[in-house]
Structure 1
Amino acid sequence: MPEPSEALAATHSPPGAAGAGEATETPPAPGRSRRAVAQRAALTGAAVSLLLVAAIVLGSRMLRDFDSALLPYAVATVFLAFGVAYRYTVWVSAPGARRLFKKGFGSFFSADNFRRAPTALPKMIATYLGFQKFLGARSRARWAAHQLIFWGCILAALITFPLTWGWFTFTSGSGSGPGYEMRIWGIKVLGFDSLNVLGWLMFHGLDVAAVLVIPGASYFLWRRMKDRGAITGQRFAYDLLPLICLIVISVTGLLLTFSSIFLHGGGYEFLAILHMVSVVFTLIYIPFGKFFHIVQRPAAVGMQLFKYTARQDEQVFACKRCGEPIDTTPYVENLRGTMQDLKLDFNAFVEYCPRCKRALRGNAYLNHVKKGFK
């Protein structure tokens, strides 16, 4: 195995550089061919979609509780299920993601980890997945905006998906209220008065979600329009379009309520179509855009647990150059294994801290590259 400085120099050597190694092309990652991975992903997506269709039919009591007016939303969720399963299968087929998936979910469902640290997993789910405290270390404003979007979308999903699938319904014994019953799979779980606070929240939960999402998405949209760091690397379809979709969905949803209460239904049909189109487009877009990280995040929580349990065992890896701790030993070895899977010939570089990596990089340039120029 070459020394880290030599490995770096090999990728920066000019023609005729004295003492520089020959640059080599990184071989392709091992595993199935792209076609085989795509076929497997398509079969997985089809299977998940069929399972969701079966769940919709059974959960709505053989479509007895299914609202045909919500059919476009239901169809969009089926496409969403296919896209998520397809993209996830392709993602975990890559060597790095496969290791993250195995180590992450292996720690997530490890009985040994639960016995040693029974509160670690719930704590990490709450702090890392729910309240995302790691974002607060970067910026309190970004953390607050992200929380508004996160909880607004969670609330909207918990209401929209089961309602769209016909899993729960609201029925009135008198036909016009104010007493209503909420039924899940045809079983009564809650009775409420539509004129009290609980009733208002039950019927306006999506409005509450919209009020949460709009300021959060607007903040990030404003930041991407003004912040030079954000502007530099942003792409419209990947960075701006998701925020615009969230704002359009939320605004049109609030306008539907405004139309029904204050305009006696004026313009309701147009707004309903606009809202439906924006929701359907966003659901289909989720697996192939920035929102896909929502599906990936649980594996990252498992990786945090993987690192946490190693720290509990005091398995800390120190930099080979300065002796400062880098990370846990199992995590460093996992990273080394990923680089070996990718046939990267400088996997020994993981044994150095970021500061020493920069020093080694500079020395490699001075010793092997710069002196090659005449």
Structure 2
Amino acid sequence: MIEPQQASAEPPPASAASPPIPGDRPPQTPAQVRRRATLAGVAVSVLLILAIVFGSRLLRDFDSALLPYAVATVFLAFGVAYRYTVWVSAPGARRLFTQGWRAFFSPRNFRKAPTALPRMIATYLGFQKFLGARSHGRWAAHQLIFWGCVLAALITFPLTWGWFTFTSSTGSGPGYEMRIWGFKIIGFDSLNVVGWLMFHGLDIAAVLVIPGACYFLWRRMKDRGAITGQRFGYDLVPLIALIVISVTGLLLTFSSIFLHGGGYQFLAILHMVAVVFTLIYIPFGKFFHIVQRPAAVGMQLFKYTARRKDGTLAADGSGAGLLACRRCGQPIDTTSYVENLQGTMRDLRLDFDTWAEYCPRCKRVLRGNAYLAHVKKGYK
């Protein structure tokens, strides 16, 4: 452990004397970023169109009634690729993105910790335990929305693209076949439990999403902290859109079963408009964090492997190779992670990257001492 040093009012030395970090490069101009993002969006959209054409066996399995949904997914693909490229072009995101993929494809990391990646995927993508530390209610509501949306996407997207179809195996009987790319996967009776689950998967997804979205909408209306910083288009519209999609989807089933199709056409149009709007909205609103969330896995994997590289992991997960604060000697984070942060600050031309080598408490002490020494002395 490094011995604590006497508190000083002087700031740490300028970053000009800091050694360069491999991979440092100046940020791209906005025009360059937009050009790359547009090319990425066009490329991904073209690939999706080709996947729809060939996956539906040259449109033989494509349902023309689902054309608006398919067009919306093409716009979704363009928007996600465009926004993601812009996001990754930022120095901080680019560095974590690069380090995360490097750790992901490292055979050495896989040999030393073969279960690390599956555990992090389950923790940060599946069960999202970090939300449980804030509130058990928020965690439960988020889980309902997450798994409901995942189930709906797994059903809706392939069905919209014509990748899998449900066809009657007898022409008039209850027997059905599910085919993917024209190949039979499973045959089932529409009147048994398997058949019910097959045809009501979207209803199950809606039942999961509605209570979760309503909880967050109620919280947005009642919680003072949430009300203070919320924006209607960014925070409330996504929740309202999820509720409208889910409710209209359930009403379609209700109409077909209990009303003999009464009002079905109006509900189908309303449901389609809500889904199309939401798909196009995803890349440019709060839903974009769905696309960003996998980056958290890369960041955690990078930090985990950096600890294994910089020092031996202890039983509690702490590492012996953590960088110590230059003032008090308390561990901050791994050396590789701090160097990565310093490189990002240099990319952004921030001339105080050496401050990253101090813990948060010592930063506050140094700032306070500097204020007393250089600012408040003028009032004596």
Same fold by TM-score greater than 0.5: yes
In structure 2, C-alpha distance between the alignment counterparts of 1:117 and 1:219, rounded to whole Å: 38
Structure 1 pair 275/363, CA: closer, same or farther in 2 (3 Å)? same
> What's 1:70 paired with?
66
Would the aligned equivalents of 2:141 and 2:216 in 1 still touch at CA under 8 Å?
yes
The equivalent position to 1:363 in structure 2, one of 362, 369, 375, is 369
Cα 1:68–1:233 shift into 2, 3 Å: same
The gaps in structure 2 that reach 5 residues or longer are 1-6, 13-24, 312-318
Pick from 187, 190, 198 the counterpart of residue 191 of structure 1.
187
- 8 A contact 1:107–1:303 mirrored in 2: no
- 8 A Cα contact 2:124 2:296, kept in partner: no
| Count of residue pairs brought into register by the alignment | 353
Q: Secondary structure of 1:345's partner?
A: coil
Residue 207 (structure 1) shift:
0.5
In the TM superposition, 1:39-78 aligns within 5 A as 39-78=35-74
| Counterpart for residue 166 of structure 2 | 170
RMSD: 1.9
Q: Check 1:370–1:171 CA distance in 2 against 1; reply closer, same or farther (3 A cut).
A: same
CA distance in 2, matches of 1:75, 1:322: 58
User: Which of the residues 327, 331, 340 maps onto 1:334?
Assistant: 340
Cα 1:4–1:62, aligned 2, differ >3 Å: closer, same or farther?
Answer: farther
Segments ≥4 residues shifted beyond 6 Å: none
Offset of 1:6 from its aligned partner? 5.8
SS at match of 1:322: coil
Correspondence for 1:234 among 224, 230, 235: 230
SS of residue matched to 1:327: strand
| Partner SS for 1:64 | coil
Structure 1 letter corresponding to 2:280: I
> Shift of the alpha carbon at 1:7?
6.0
Q: Kindly indicate whether residue 90 of structure 2 is the aligned counterpart of residue 94 of structure 1.
A: yes
**Unaligned segments of structure 1, at least 5 residues:** 9-28
Residues 7 and 345, structure 1, Cα contact 8 Å, conserved in 2 = no
CA distance in 2, matches of 1:5, 1:217: 50
Q: Distance in 2 between matches of 1:187 and 1:228?
A: 54
C-alpha distance 6-282 of structure 1, shift in aligned 2 (>3 A): farther
What TM-score comes out, normalization by structure 1 length?
A: 0.91
Residue 295 of structure 1 is matched in structure 2 by 291
Match for residue 137 of structure 2 among 137, 141, 145: 141
Instruction: State the one-letter code of the partner of 2:347.
Output: D
Higher mean C-alpha deviation, range 161-170 or range 301-310: 301-310
* Alignment correspondent of 2:242: 246
Equivalent residue in structure 2 for 1:256, among 249, 252, 259? 252
Question: TM-score w.r.t. structure 2 length?
Answer: 0.89
Q: Write the deviation string for residues 121-178 of structure 1: whole angstroms up to 9, x where unpaired.
A: 1111111111111111111111111111110000000000000000000000233441
Give how far 1:371 is off. 3.0
Percent pairwise identity: 81
Map of 1:214 onto structure 2? 210
Q: Name the structure 2 match of 1:31.
A: 27
In structure 2, the residue matched to 1:125 is: 121
**Aligned residue for 2:78?**
82
Matched, 1:348 2:354: yes
SS in 2 for 1:266: coil
The 1:317–1:200 alpha-carbon spacing in structure 2 relative to 1, beyond 3 Å, is same
Return the letter of the residue paired with 1:278: A
